[in-house]
Structure 1
Amino acid sequence: MKITVREAAEMSSGRLLCGNADSWITSIVTDSREACPGSLFVPIRGEKTDAHIYIPAVFAAGAAASFTQEETAVPPDSSALIAVPDTTAALQRLAAAYRRRYTGPVVGITGSVGKTTTKEMVALALSARYHVMKTQGNQNSQVGVPLTMFQLNADTETAVVEMGMSQFGEMARLARIAAPQFAVMTNIGISHIENLHTQENIMREKLHITDGFTPQSVLVLNGDDKMLATLRGKLPFHTEFVGTSPWCSYRAVQVESQNGCMHFSMQHDGKSLPVTIPVLGMHQVTNALAALAIADILHVSLPDAAAELAKYQPLAMRQQIHEAGGMTVIDDSYNASPDAMRGALDVLCSFPHRRVAVLADMLELGDASCRAHQDCGRHAAQAGVDVLVTIGKEAAAIAEGAHEVNSSLPCTVCSSNQEAGAYLRKLLKPGDTILVKGSRGMHVDEIVSGILAFA
């Protein structure tokens, strides 16, 4: 990116307090440690820290400018200070204005589960024809999406932007910033139901991703999701459904798992395309279908897009498979929700030999938490888990649900990662397949590291 200080002030509705208005800004940072010559620093006020205290440090590092909600600090030399009422809102206004300088297609990705994986697959499929800019990691928040917009440049031919929300109004705000003309909605689960109260509210809020749609826009929906399937024929813009249902326009048939891969045939428009993706689980098939649908909509050769998807590699802590000490460890420790937990259990139970599920609390489920954890326990027992280990107060209900289905299923309830790690050290043996999954706040990546260390 390259804008002047004057442009940054105008685009953010800010007021230049001091400094050279003609200085160039070449990057936007919210982390003071990333400040460098050409940076515009956006100090965010958080619950624990007000980043305004780092303004002197970023200027010492050579930053060109900084937003501020305070007008007392005077930077040295020609460094520019731009006064704004709210730095986060100013960042969002600046990002929205910068986004509108880009004229290529933007694809938004949302859903309760699978956003990051689908974003990666969509970007990979589109790369068969285009130079793609995509969200880095899971920068899908009220700050992350604006920062993603500044990665748009003259080389970008299409952009894939992950868009998350947990509160009322957040998706509408992100849609104003990213302005996607195309979008994918992976599913409607109960993540963040503590804040949004019902699945209907979650779906309604996520549909705000289409706020800026034009007559040429397309929304891709998961037809196998019960909530999304109810939208069939009810939306005022073009929709395409992906899934295994006969009425889906991009449909997977002859689905098989073999040697760590999912193989299926995609039927679309009277034609059939063989597809192989090097990950396991029906949810991954749906993610791949969405990627192929977007590729087709944006005029990418489907065989070429499928060839790119065959190269897909899962991101860290997202169903990464490790082989160690004769054991197979499925590291799905990044995060957890009921739908994702069930999908991961199905993947675990596709493996032979003894299947050990290490499951921690799923957070932010509110009043639905106990039932959701019990349901996952029932699913674990029905799917064929051989040993169940739970971690955390909420996850104890997983064991309760599992015992409702199979009272003889070995279940151990642990209160901490340390307790679980010590138990697993004694339990595990060569030949075992171990799934580790829990909400990010449970830090169960520590469990994975511990297993790999002693294996």
Structure 2
Amino acid sequence: MKEFLLSQAVGAVHGTYHGDGAALLKRVRGVVIDNRKVEPDFLFVPIKGERFDGHDFIPSAYEAGALACITERELQTERPYILVKDSLSAFQSLAEFYKGLFDVKTIGITGSVGKTTTKELISSVLSQKYGVLKSEGNLNNQTGVPLTVFRLEDHHDVAVVEMGTNHFGEIRNLAKIARPDFCFLTNIGEAHIEHLGSKEGILKAKSEMLEYIKPDGRVFVNGDDPYLRTLKEARTDVTAFGKDPQNDIYAEKIKSKGLDGTDFVIHTPDTEFPAHVPSPGGHMVYNALAAAAAGLALGMGPDEIALGLAAYKTIAGRMCIETRNGITVLNDVYNANPGSMRAALDVLAYAEGGRVCVLGDMLELGEKAEQYHRELGAYAARRADRVLCVGTLAKHIYTGAKEAGAEAFCFGTQDELLAKIRGLVREGDAVLVKASRGMRLEKTVEFLLK
């Protein structure tokens, strides 16, 4: 981390400083919100969470050598601290200040589905030429983006920042921190529709990122998405990518290689070139096109882009494919919504042998949740030989699957599923496991692979 003065931190968060004035001239070596990660001369920012209040850990932060703490409470201590009204807002303001210390091209990524995969693919491509900082995992929320920014170093040329939301105003906060040069919007789907009301509302929330794009920046959208296409029609700074040849950047000659990925040809306004993405599914072509667009925007050539796409590696819980004991497990448990569920089932359809899907609840879908789950069941019936459903909402997946003629089974809890799953999965089967994060179906993946 690039060091800065404690006095600069006080100014950045507009706080009131308490403590020895000499400490203001000391340098902050790191910024953390986890007291277990405090090192000497770090700045600790306690955040109020659902289960814990970081303020309770201020004493341990000082014991670990914290230079100072940011706090919403007045402290009975002679140690330096900065008093603020809201520690989360202060954390974000400090991250905005820190980001301003660097001259790096910044790519912001948002959308209903595919944010993390697109982030990984863009990073894989850009890493062929540049020093890249990317969001770790899916650290894309109100604390995750600041934590990403605080990892910036002088050797980075590009920052690739994923931004997520389930409420209005959140993307705006994150974009204000990141100040993107390039904004990528992957698609508009049903994820978080419970809080954002409609797909129009989701588009509005995702588009908040554009409020803080650099003056000479550019927007990249999936031009095959009818909601995102409206941005192309309304703005002059938009590049569209997709499978439709009317897009600025498009793919053709798409050929599935089964679970080994997809071959295709990328067309740009200036050239065309072959590419391969080593992860299955037609949806991966869209993510790869976004990555190609990022590479082109930063002056990369076709060969560099193709190498970066081919070098892509999946991350935990994101369509990781592993074969053990004669069973191929498609581990896509990190999260789920109707769009990503359908895409995952399309991947399962590529598998040879028996096809089994283990599907759990999709959360935050609002009043149409039952309908979305029932429709998913009917879709699963066309892609899988056996449909195993687990959870409260998943009973509607079961209903939809049974009505569509599938061999389907329903379990109230994951433990009930695990007690029966050995008799429902056979050697030679491919098993897709997917649900919303709260279902914790990684336990099922571990059970199948052990």
TM-score (norm 1): 0.96
Q: Does 1:17 align with 2:14?
A: no
Give the equivalent residue in structure 2 for 1:8: 9
- SS of 1:285's equivalent? helix
One of 419, 423, 431 as aligned partner of 1:422: 419
What CA RMSD, in Å, does the superposition of the two structures yield over aligned residues? 1.2
1:340-377 deviation per Cα after TM superposition (whole angstroms, max 9, x unaligned): 00000000011121100100000011112111111211
Stretch of structure 1 that moved more, 18-27 or 58-67: 18-27
Residue 80 of structure 1 and its aligned partner are, at CA, apart by 2.0
- Separation in structure 1 between the aligned mates of residue 176 and residue 214 of structure 2, nearest angstrom: 13
Letter in 1 for 2:446: S
Amino acid at match of 1:248: N
In structure 1, distance between residues paired with 2:37 and 2:83: 21
User: 2:302 matched to 1:302?
Assistant: yes
Counterpart Cα distance in 2 of 1:425 and 1:73:
59
> How far is the alpha carbon of 1:270 from its aligned partner?
4.9
Is residue 49 from structure 1 mapped to residue 52 from structure 2 by the alignment? Answer: yes
Paired with 1:241 and 1:282, the residues of 2 have a C-alpha distance of 18
Range that drifts further, 225-234 or 42-51? 225-234
Q: Deviations over 1:118-144 (max 9, x none)?
A: 111111111121111111111111111
Matched residue type, 1:314: T
CA contact (8 A) 1:40 1:67 kept: yes
Distance 1:26 1:131 in 2: 22
Shift of 1:193: 0.8
Q: How does 1:318-397 map to 2 (within 5 A)?
A: 318-382=318-382, 384-397=383-396
Count of residue correspondences = 446
- C-alpha separation between the residues in 1 aligned to 2:449 and 2:16? 54
Q: CA deviation at 1:445?
A: 0.4
Residue 94 of structure 1 aligns with which residue? 94
Aligned-partner Cα distance in 1 for 2:448–2:170: 39
Q: C-alpha deviations, 1:360-404, integer Å up to 9, x for none?
A: 00001111211111121121123x310000011111111222233
Q: How does 1:18-417 map to 2 (within 5 A)?
A: 18-19=19-20, 20-75=23-78, 79-235=79-235, 237-258=236-257, 260-382=260-382, 384-405=383-404, 407=405, 409-417=406-414
Query: C-alpha distance in 2, partners of 1:444/1:214?
Result: 40
Stretches of structure 2 that go unaligned for 5 or more consecutive residues are none
Distance 2:431 2:11 in 1: 54
Equivalent-residue separation in structure 1 for 2:444 and 2:61 (angstroms): 37
- Partners of 2:162 and 2:313 in 1: CA distance: 18
The one-letter code of the counterpart of 2:60 is A
Contact 2:183–2:213 (8 Å) recurs in 1:
no
Per-residue deviation at 1:241? 1.1
Q: Is the 8 A contact 2:388 2:409 kept in 1?
A: yes
Deviation string, structure 1 residues 394-451 (Cα, Å, up to 9, x no partner): 111112222333x2x1100001111111111122111000000000000000000011
Unpaired segments ≥5 residues, structure 1: none
Give runs of ≥4 in structure 1 deviating > 6 Å: none
**Aligned mates of 1:73, 1:188 — CA distance in 2:** 49
- Tell whether the 8 Å contact from 1:5 to 1:80 is kept in structure 2 after alignment: no
* Kept in 1: contact 2:356–2:385 (CA 8 A): yes
Give the 3-state SS of the residue equivalent to 1:56 in structure 2: helix
Amino acid in structure 2 at the alignment position of 1:392: G
Taking the aligned partners of 1:284 and 1:114, their CA distance within structure 2 comes to 9
**Equivalent-residue separation in structure 1 for 2:368 and 2:179 (angstroms):** 33
In structure 2, relative to structure 1, the CA distance for the partners of 1:443 and 1:302 (3 Å cut) is same
CA distance in 1, matches of 2:76, 2:363: 40
Cα distance in 2, alignment partners of residues 73 and 306 from structure 1: 59
Could you say which residue in structure 1 is the equivalent of 2:449? Answer: 452
Question: What one-letter code is carried by the residue in structure 2 that aligns with 1:102?
Answer: F
2:128 and 2:341 mapped to 1: Cα distance? 32
Q: Quote the offset at 1:310 in angstroms.
A: 0.5
Deviation at 1:215, TM superposition (A): 4.2
Does the 8 Å CA contact 1:250/1:289 hold for their aligned counterparts? yes
